[in-house]
Structure 1
Amino acid sequence: MRFSINQSELQNALSVVLKGISTRSTLPVLSGIYIDANNDSLTLQTTDLSLSIQYTVAALIDTPGRVVVPGKLFSEIVKSLPDAAVHFALEGESAIITCDAASFSIKTLDAEEFPGFPHVDVHQKIRIPFLKLSSMVKKVARVVSKDESRAILTGVLITLEETTLKMVATDSYRLAIAESEVPEAAADNFEAVISGPFLQEIAAMVKSDDDVTIALAENQIVVTYHDTMLINRRIEGSFPNYRQLLPKTCTTRVAMDKNHLVSAVKRASLLIQTSSPVRFSIDTEVQAVQVSSAAHDIGSAQEVVSCEAEGESVEIAFNYTYVLDGLAAIDTDQVFLEVNEGMKPGIFKSDNPDNFLYLVMPVRIS
């Protein structure tokens, strides 16, 4: 086996597949990267038996062959090389990697022991422009739960109804919903719960104007983007009925400058202890929101944010990190806060035409 490839192209390929290697398996081969050199291209594969990644890149193949190399070590070696041609040759049980004056010899693993890449029969698929998918994922994925005991909450509910694509995530304390029109998506009543970290990996891939294809198999998700295919297990179970949390009306609605509000919450949080909330005192008569915090034996902070307010004056408090997470997902200059009363959820919304809703459970004010 012998091939040559540009260092930057190989490094890019490795950065994609490296996310699929196993770090905890008792099978050493799963910590490796499977390389198949054939027909003027390299196919790289990794798997942890839950997530499988395959990436194909053009290369100069002198002698075809297959091998498994230690994943992290090989990636670090390639990253350290200059941007020039990398030559790879298999000699016995060692791989010889040379680039300019640098040369490495590393032990390889048996390609026969590497699991075959899954072949799945898909029954539904949708196409989404990558930039739109990436933007929506970044808005909702930070809300997914990290508690593995409730696996369904570690995922994002993705649905397509006619031309409306919707992503929903919740950790029981907050709820994020992003919507977008995708006229060319093409699927009937598509619905799946997909791992939040898996979606974040996809959203972090190289940006382009191309589409991402998401396909559903019986118990797997198949994602295809450019020369990359990713297969991950679907999260089974019933996603919570989030619609019952969304009030049909509100008694108070406030419009504020998002950047001013973010700055005020950050300053108020400087005095906050772990369990202390940020209080929003909405005064509809003077058209202002006082953002405040207080910590026993430390002190207090207050800041007034001007607003356009409708309805009743009200006080409500939130976990400040939850508020900042929601505001970070809003990319319009103006943000709306809708409240019914102090102990009912508050809803942050972006300005039109960006469809984003962020519901936060309140904290009791002492």
Structure 2
Amino acid sequence: MKFTINKTELQNALSVVLKGVSTRSTLPVLSGIMLDASGDEVVLQSTDLEYSVKYILPALVDEPGKTVVPGKLFNDIVKNLADAAVCIQESDNTAHITCDTSSFSVRTLNYEDFPGFPHVETDSELEIPFIQFQDMVRRVSRVVSRDESRAILTGVLITLEEHVLRMVATDSYRLAITEIPMPDSAAEDFEAVILGNFLNEIAALPRNEGNVSIALAENQIVAKCGPVTFINRRIEGNYPNYKQLLPNTYTSRAQIDVKELAASVKRAALLSSSTAPMRFDLNIASQTTQITVSAPDVGTAQETIVCQIEGEDMQIAFNSSYVQDGLSAISGEKVYLEVQSDMKPGILRAEEPENYLYLIMPVRI
């Protein structure tokens, strides 16, 4: 095997494929990356037997062939090479890597032991413009649970109903919902719970004008974006009925400037901790929202924001980091804070046309 490839393109591909390399398997070959050179391209593959990645790159192939190189070492070498063409040649179980004045020889692994890339028969498929997909994942990914004991909450519920695409995530303390209209979608109704980390890997690809394709099999998810194909296990189980948490009304609603609120919350949070919740006082008479944090043995922080309030005077308290996460997902200028009572969830709702809702469970004052 012998081929020459652009260093930058190879490095970008390795940063994606390396995520599929196993770090804990007893099979040494799973710690490697398969290189398959033929025609005018090189296919890079990695897998940990649950998560698989394939990346196709253009290359000048002099001798077709396959080999498996140690994943992390190969990535470290390529990352530190000069910005020039990289030549990779494999012979006698050794990969020779040359670039400009640099030369490396790395022992390879037997490609015949490397698992074949899964061939998955899918039964439903959804296509989303990558830019919109990336923005939607960014809005909900922070809310995904890290608790493996409730596997269903480590995923994001993705649905397509009546030409509206929706992503929902919750960790049982907060809930994020974002949706976009998809009037031109050819897909039928679509529903799946997909691992949050898996969606983050796809969304971390360079921003592009193409589409992301997500297809479902019985127990797997197949995602494609440009030259990359990802395959991961599908999360089984029923997602919680989040709709029953969403209130139909509010007692008080404040319209607040997003940047001003985010800055005030960030400053007040300097004194906040799990034992010192952040209190919001909505005052109708003064048309202000006052943010207060009182930390025993530390001190007090207070911020006052002029805003538009309708309804009744209201007090409610939240975990400050949850508030910051919700505000960071809003790209518009205004946000609505909607409150029913101090013991019912509060809602941060983005201003139209941005369709984003963030529900937070209150902290007892």
Which category of TM-score, normalised to the shorter sequence, fits these structures?
over 0.9
* Letter of the 2:11 counterpart: Q
Residue 242 (1) aligns with residue 242 (2): yes
Counterparts of 1:173 and 1:274, CA distance in 2: 13
Counterparts of 1:11 and 1:334, CA distance in 2: 40
Unpaired stretches in structure 2, ≥5 consecutive residues = none
Residue 193 (1) aligns with residue 193 (2): yes
* Letter of the 1:175 counterpart: L
SS in 1 for 2:118: coil
1:266-297 CA deviation, whole Å, 9 max, x = no partner?
Answer: 11111123321100011012100110000111
Counterparts of 1:58 and 1:209, CA distance in 2: 20
* Letter of the 2:53 counterpart: I
* Letter of the 1:40 counterpart: D
1:242-321 matched pairs, under 5 angstroms: 242-321=242-321
Cα offset, 1:303, TM superposition: 1.2
Q: Which moved more, 1:4-13 or 1:44-53?
A: 4-13
Q: Could you tell me the TM-score, scaled by structure 2's length?
A: 0.99
Look up the match of 2:90: 90
Contact 1:55 1:229 in 2 (8 A): yes
SS in 2 for 1:149: coil
Alpha-carbon RMSD across the aligned residues, in angstroms, is: 0.8
Cα offset, 1:138, TM superposition: 0.2
Q: Which moved more, 1:332-341 or 1:177-186?
A: 177-186
Counterparts of 1:272 and 1:137, CA distance in 2: 28
Cα offset, 1:23, TM superposition: 1.0
Counterparts of 1:201 and 1:98, CA distance in 2: 30
SS in 2 for 1:297: coil
Contact 2:274 2:319 in 1 (8 A): no
Look up the match of 1:180: 180
SS in 1 for 2:149: helix
Contact 1:81 1:102 in 2 (8 A): yes
Cα offset, 1:162, TM superposition: 2.2
Counterparts of 1:52 and 1:269, CA distance in 2: 40
Cα offset, 1:254, TM superposition: 0.5
SS in 1 for 2:201: helix
1:280-317 CA deviation, whole Å, 9 max, x = no partner?
Answer: 01101210011000011111111111110000101000
Contact 2:55 2:228 in 1 (8 A): yes
Look up the match of 1:361: 361
Look up the match of 1:156: 156
Look up the match of 2:14: 14
Look up the match of 2:80: 80
Counterparts of 2:144 and 2:77, CA distance in 1: 35
Contact 1:127 1:184 in 2 (8 A): no
Contact 1:159 1:192 in 2 (8 A): yes
1:208-223 matched pairs, under 5 angstroms: 208-223=208-223
Residue 31 (1) aligns with residue 25 (2): no
Cα offset, 1:108, TM superposition: 0.4
Counterparts of 1:273 and 1:14, CA distance in 2: 39
* Letter of the 1:263 counterpart: A
Cα offset, 1:183, TM superposition: 2.2
1:106-162 CA deviation, whole Å, 9 max, x = no partner?
Answer: 110000010110001000001100000000000001100000000000000000012
Look up the match of 1:101: 101
* Letter of the 1:11 counterpart: Q
Q: Could you tell me the TM-score, scaled by structure 1's length?
A: 0.99
Counterparts of 1:257 and 1:339, CA distance in 2: 17
SS in 2 for 1:23: coil
- Which stretches of structure 1, 4 residues or more, deviate above 3 A after TM superposition? none
Cα offset, 1:185, TM superposition: 2.7
1:60-71 matched pairs, under 5 angstroms: 60-71=60-71
